[in-house]
């Protein structure tokens, strides 16, 4: 059943609480990347144009509520004030920032709103009950609005007060950003054009076990790269030197290799170094012959050719996780080559599942070459695992 979207709501003169994802990086009070703010603008601008009174809520960073001193430091560091300032520059509406999450100052600001105006509430994580979906907190926040719109895909996998609690108490719908995420990820995973090829990278097998297992059921090919490949090499009995390895996952890797035979593909060669930082020796070796004292940090040229060949003819590609330490230019060659190979596929739906692979595509200048880049790393991973996302499940179905 399709979910209601913001287009299904009559919003004129209504107080619409919108859960956005304004969890942006801030350094010395300055936002260093405003992508998450601009991603929410289509929904915000639509509501403003339709005469809604828009109440925006988002978390920012983490707030430790166990230690009072740490709580105060975290709150000061993760204040939403710079976000309000940037938002005011991006919209043609009055933006009022309320520096609290509860109380008369917030209530009065919401009450004083006119149609087409925006109130941005302080960081939802200032409240201890946010991450526990505290019913009293959710009921209080819901009392501030008439309608609820979910537009923070990066948070829909969390059953928090601001993502699920408010939606349980108000008529609800998806914003344009979350609607697009659901549509694109569903098209890639639930109803893909075939062949479907998945490329999974990143550091740990443990982070991707459920994704690998689900994709082995639905994909035609699953390609493994990045740090987690070395756990699979160890499972095959190969020497891996000082490469990253989860010893407690070696048996599981053996099981996955057996189940994925003919469908699971690993690097043929690797770029290895005698140290992670300030290496004095860097060389290319076969995956079966990583020397003692060396660690694998990228895929090698044979693998680039091999992975590029495996991608040929794909009609749907899902990519999650870089295949090397792409943050270091000397070990970003493999990730760039994979990125380029996917970007240059003809007539294919290409989806990046957020996180580091999204950062890599942006850093390498390929972000506009993909059909879709997810804005939610954790949420897109859980979607790929086949899990129900609580922040989407709670939204009302279309009638």
Decide if 355 is catalytic: yes
Q: Which member of 14, 36, 208, 234 is catalytic?
A: 36
Q: What is the DSSP letter of 70?
A: H
Q: How far is CA 65 from CA 5, 69, 74, 184, 307, in A?
A: 35, 9, 9, 37, 46
Nearest Cα neighbor of 147 from 8, 39, 286 is 8
Cα separation, 300 vs 302, in Å, equals: 6
Q: Are 381 and 320 in contact (CB under 8 A)?
A: yes
User: Within 13 A of 218's CA, how many CA atoms are on the CB side?
Assistant: 21
Q: Which member of 296, 376, 378, 391 is catalytic?
A: 378
User: Within 13 A of 356's CA, how many CA atoms are on the CB side?
Assistant: 18
Phi and psi, residue 198, nearest 5°: -110, 135
Decide if 378 is catalytic: yes
Cα separation, 110 vs 324, in Å, equals: 48
Q: Which member of 227, 321, 355, 376 is catalytic?
A: 355
Residues listed for the chain: 399
User: 348-361: buried (b, 16+ CB within 10 Å) or exposed (e) per residue?
Assistant: bbbbbbbbbbbbbb
Decide if 102 is catalytic: no
Decide if 204 is catalytic: yes
Q: Which member of 75, 102, 180, 204 is catalytic?
A: 204
Q: Just list the catalytic residues.
A: 36, 204, 355, 378
């Amino acid at each position: 059943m399709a979910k209601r979207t913001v287009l299904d709501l009559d919003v004129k003169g209504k107080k619409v609480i919108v859960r956005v994802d304004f969890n942006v990086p801030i350094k010395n009070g300055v936002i260093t990347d405003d992508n998450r703010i601009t991603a929410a603008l289509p929904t915000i601008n639509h509501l403003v144009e339709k005469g809604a009174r828009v109440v925006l809520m988002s978390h920012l960073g983490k707030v430790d509520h166990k230690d009072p001193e740490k709580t105060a430091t975290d709150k000061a560091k993760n204040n939403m004030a710079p976000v309000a300032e940037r938002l005011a520059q991006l919209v043609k509406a009055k933006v009022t920032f309320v520096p609290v999450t509860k109380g008369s100052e917030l209530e009065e600001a919401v009450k004083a709103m006119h149609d087409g105006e925006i109130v941005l509430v302080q960081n939802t994580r200032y409240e201890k009950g946010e991450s526990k979906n505290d019913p009293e907190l959710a009921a209080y926040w819901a009392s501030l609005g008439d309608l609820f719109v979910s537009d923070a895909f990066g948070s829909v996998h969390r059953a928090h007060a601001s993502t699920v609690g408010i939606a349980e108490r108000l008529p609800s719908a998806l914003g344009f950003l979350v609607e697009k995420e659901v549509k694109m990820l569903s098209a890639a995973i639930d109803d893909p054009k075939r062949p479907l090829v998945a490329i999974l990278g990143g550091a740990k097998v443990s982070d991707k076990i459920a994704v690998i297992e689900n994709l082995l059921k639905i994909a035609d090919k699953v390609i493994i790269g990045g740090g987690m490949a070395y756990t699979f090499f160890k499972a095959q009995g190969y020497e891996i030197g000082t490469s990253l390895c989860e010893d407690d996952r070696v048996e599981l890797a053996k099981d996955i290799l057996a189940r994925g035979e003919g469908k699971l593909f690993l690097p043929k060669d690797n770029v290895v170094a005698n140290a992670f930082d300030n290496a004095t020796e860097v060389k290319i070796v076969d995956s079966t012959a990583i020397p003692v004292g060396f660690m694998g940090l990228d895929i090698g040229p044979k693998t680039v050719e091999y992975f590029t060949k495996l991608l040929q003819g794909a009609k749907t590609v899902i990519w999650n996780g870089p295949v090397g330490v792409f943050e270091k230019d000397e070990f970003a060659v493999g990730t760039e080559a994979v990125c380029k190979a996917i970007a240059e596929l003809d007539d294919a739906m290409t989806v990046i599942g957020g996180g580091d692979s999204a950062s890599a595509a942006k850093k390498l200048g390929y972000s506009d070459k993909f059909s879709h880049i997810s804005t939610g790393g954790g949420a897109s991973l859980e979607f790929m695992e086949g899990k129900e996302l609580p922040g989407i499940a709670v939204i009302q179905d279309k009638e």
